[in-house]
Amino acid sequence: MPEARIQTIAAVDVGGTFTDAIVIRDDKVLTCKVPSTPRDPGIAVGQALQRLGGADLLIHGTTVATNALLTGRLGRIALITTKGFRDVLAIGRQNRDPRELYALEPAQRQPLVPRELRLEVAERVGPGGEVELALSEGEIAIAVGEVLAAGVQACAVCLLHSYANPAHENLLGARLKLAGVPHVLSSQLAPEFREYERSLVTAANAGLLPLMREYLAGLEARVKPARVVLMHSAGGWLPAEIAALEPVKLALSGPAGGIAGVRKALDMEGLAGGVAFDVGGTSTDVSLVQQTATLRPVTEIAGLPLRTPSLDIHTIGAGGGSIAWLDAGNALHVGPQSAGAEPGPACYGKGGKAATLTDALLVRGRIPRELKLGGEIGLQYAPAEAALAALGMGTAKAAAQAVLQVALAGIERALRRVTVERGVRADDLPLVPFGGAGGLIACDLAELLGTATVLVPRHPGLLCALGMLFTPASRDLSRTLLLRESADLLPMAVSAADELAARATRELLDCKLNGPFTTAASLDVRYVGQSFELNVPLKPDWRKRFEQAHEREFGFARKGEAVEIVNVRVRVAAKHAPPKLPAATGKGKPEPVGQSAHAPVFERVKLGAGATIKGPAIVTELSSCLYVKEGWTAKVTRQGQILVTRNKGPERKRRGRKGQRKPPKGRQ
């Protein structure tokens, strides 16, 4: 869509409990939260957009693809593959789920396509692209006939080494198109080596096709005349025309928007990096956010390693709606089961009986009893208290504290996984909490990690939606090269990158997106004989960058040894003019508006730049709450964000004299 026609841009993110919406119009930030509608998420999206007054462009973060993969409720599909490779999906990599490491009868792998619908054709292409056995017209006719007879909703085509030569897949694709069968070609979706991963992502994409097309058709009808675009897992958005064909790339749609929002929050304070964690209703997403986004080539959903790029986000099943329960050994767990939006936590008063993290936070006094979540959902203390008491762990308050501690331990492990386990000092980086419950436990997690700084963005409970407004349309493509080091290696890699960039640019232009476009290319490189690769920018000094990356990752580099370029990757991004957030409106000395337990309650909208609050205190807003623990101080920055710092007590001063680094400082 030409930029001149776009007057208003809205962003709507669907979560497990709430659907969040935001739009910046006439120097005002308009927001709303509505309960999600799991049976049809588009209903809540339409309601939220209507409340905001509509828009010309809707950037949408969706869980449709994620939920379908998690539950296995995909469309009925067939898979056409090379003769002899029918069972690649069932065999997989033979990696055991850690939870079943010692199981005598481990659970069967989810192959996505039943064996009777995995079809073979006699053909063979070598790893260099040479045709060893041509695909005959008879083989094509038989395969397409079997697909039609099976009455499937879509067909995945993944032939051996088609990344090197897609000719045979193109022949099958042309015939399937003629027969009116929706289909996915692996050579178009993920032209990379490793047969299992390529087969898996192609089958998953085919299984999502009918679901996403039906969802998008219903959504577009609800939000007319707004044009719908969708956030993809790699941190940009795709026009609906492309997203409908490649729905597997939407698996981490919402969290990708949150990371963009965190990057914006850090930039506003002049901070190079931070540790982000999003505590939503169903799960918690954590990520190390640096100046350059880190992409991983594989997105894992429900144990399925999908060969599609995504931001480096780690997810655990611990959110505000996570259910607390005791196992056979009487040990307490929080999650991964969730009360969701229906019936929700016990304190929602919708019939939920199980105790959740939200109930625990309410009983501990961190959530004021008078607060209405999303401005609408009132909280009921008595059902929350009863649910916690039913755990049989003493008083309701004692049980609430135990639930809180268990949830904190799980999230702390996740935060250490993306920092300490990767050689990054967590105490050198600010924590950036968001989501509805992130601010309620931020100080606790900071103390556990040893960091002294917490940065709370504006509209933290809506940050996934807000971040989408700061992301451009982008297209990510890749191709396997498998080039050994030689004099013409770099020109060959550049030529392949140019071809991918041309395709990506053409597809974005076909969707009526304006240029100019920016292009970034990178290489997956490894030493000859290694099994996995490291990604480095496609620059003349690519080899030096690879050796530096290898030393950072593994502690050594084999300088002078033979290397090979495995894949080339390209991102093409459209021109983007991010909106400007209006200045904070609060003025005057902070005055509490109420009391919760032993903490005064403040409204964030009334806090102006420079306002300072000492803990314990609670700061409420439409989308979330912030709990400032005793020993911490919150200050509103010039950008309207809240910087929470730990006070320097005697113990901290002693540790500081031993060489503890100072926390990062932003422009306040």
Tokens read off for 335: 């999650």
Q: What is the DSSP string of 388-427?
A: HHTT-SSSHHHHHHHHHHHHHHHHHHHHHHTTGGGT--GG
Q: What is the average pLDDT across 482-500?
A: 91
Angle at 565 between CA 559 and CA 570, to 5 degrees: 125
Tell me the per-residue pLDDT of 376-411, one tens digit each, with 9 for 90 and over.
Answer: 778 999 999 999 999 999 999 999 999 999 999 999
Q: Which CATH class is domain 70-212?
A: alpha beta
Per cent of the chain over pLDDT 90 is: 69
Query: Alpha-carbon distance 568 to 546, whole Å?
Result: 14
* CATH 3.30.420.40 is right for the domain spanning 3-69+213-253: yes
> Average of pLDDT values for 153-169?
97
The answer to whether 433 and 456 are in contact (CB under 8 A) is yes
Banded pLDDT at 298 (limits 50, 70, 90): confident
Residue-wise pLDDT for 67-125, tens only, equals: 888 788 899 999 999 999 999 999 888 777 776 778 777 777 778 999 999 999 999 99
Please compute Rg for the chain using Cα positions. 26
Contacts of 216 (CB under 8 A, 6+ apart): 228, 240, 243, 244
Task: Tell me the percentage of the chain whose pLDDT exceeds 70.
Answer: 95
The per-residue pLDDT for range 602-640, each reduced to its tens digit, is 999 999 999 999 989 999 998 889 999 999 999 999 999
Task: Name the pLDDT band for 5 (thresholds 50, 70, 90).
Answer: very low
> How many Å apart are CA 275 and CA 428, to the nearest integer?
10
Centroid of chain to Cα 336:
17
List Cβ neighbours of 601 (8 Å cut-off, separation of 6 or more): 368, 592, 593, 594, 595, 617, 618, 619, 620
For domain 474-574, which architecture applies? 2-Layer Sandwich (3.30)
pLDDT of residue 597: 84
Instruction: Read off the tokens for 63.
Output: 């869980």
Residue 294, pLDDT score: 81
Average pLDDT, stretch 24-33?
86
- Among residues 423, 416, 421, 422, the alpha carbon closest in space to that of 431 is found at 416
Domain ranges, ordered by start, for the chain? 3-69+213-253, 70-212, 474-574, 594-657
Average pLDDT of the chain is 90
